Amino acid sequence: MKTRPFKQVDVFTDLPYFGNPLAVVLDGSGLDDEAMQRFARWTNLSETTFVLPPTDPAADYRVRIFTPGGELPFAGHPTLGSCHAWLQAGGTPRRQDFIVQECQVGLVNIRRDPSTGSGQDGDRLAFAAPPLQRSAPSPAVLAQVAAALGLKAQHILAAQLLDNGPVWLGLLLDSADTVLQLAPDHVTLKKHGLKVGVIGPHPARTAPVLIARANREARAFAGSMPASAAESATADFEVRGFAAPIGIEEDPVTGSLNASLAQWLIAEGHAPERYVAAQGTCLGRAGRVYLTRETDMSGSAQATSTGSGQVWVGGPSVTCINGTVTL
């Protein structure tokens, strides 16, 4: 065992303790898989990451991502949070335009998000969504998952299996209120072995996203938020991510899920090319994810291997714990 630099970061929020926490061990050298998994179970956070020297010369650093139940090839909030922690610890990117992270899905470009509303460069990072594979779920699986969520057929506008490393069953629902009122049967969802992400539109961008008429937790949270957060608590969509198969009943804010939802919904015309998603409301969080499909100078979507244009997934991060850990 040795003493290693450590940070606990809150991701997709600029208010500490209102986003999705991430444990970051900034020196994972010499740790085997069992030691990493044991520490990830101990932190009991949705993800714990270990920063390592890159094996690809094009990368600035390498990261391994663990949930309490296993290792992930890619995840969004650990990508942004690890990058934030690496930069804060003195990491220097090789390039001026991108930070390049190596993980099991390959190289992921991260940039300082030019759409940040604060005007302070570097407050918000954004990662380039990995290529997405998607397909239609079987009607039988869709019916079983809908029953576990308490959804009727008229609530589901569209459904897709989404794979950008993690695999999610994505459901577009009729409204944000429907999303907020869900009371899932997590035991049944775990038996099906599928992570499920749901998204529904708010009636207008200026609608307060923390008002959920049938959700006591959301109502209580709305009354306890700082005024500064309540003033900016607007979003276009509400998202929830249920991941019982990997030991997480509901994830506070999920970058990989929001990435794949954006790639799907923008490509199909269900969402604009730039929007804000709220997530974590029912858990007392105020996560905000900034989604953008990039366009070229002529205004057309930049082509990628999927033909859908590069989607960027952004959000701020704040460090809540800064110290060392013995591992």
Active-site amino acid positions: 47
Query: What pairs with residue 275 in β-bridges?
Result: 291
| Cα–chain center distance at 93 | 23
Query: Which tokens sit at 81?
Result: 């949070």
For 207, other C-beta atoms within 10 Å of its C-beta total 15
Q: Cα separation of 120 and 122, whole Å?
A: 6
Query: Which tokens sit at 178?
Result: 């429907």
| Cα–chain center distance at 15 | 17
Q: Cα separation of 12 and 253, whole Å?
A: 7
Query: Which tokens sit at 297?
Result: 């100078």
Number of DSSP helices (H) and strands (E) in the chain, helices first: 8, 17
Contact 9, 21 (CB under 8 A): yes
Q: What are phi and psi of 8, to 5 degrees?
A: -115, 120
> CA of 305: how far to CAs of 109, 132, 265, 309, in Å?
16, 9, 17, 9
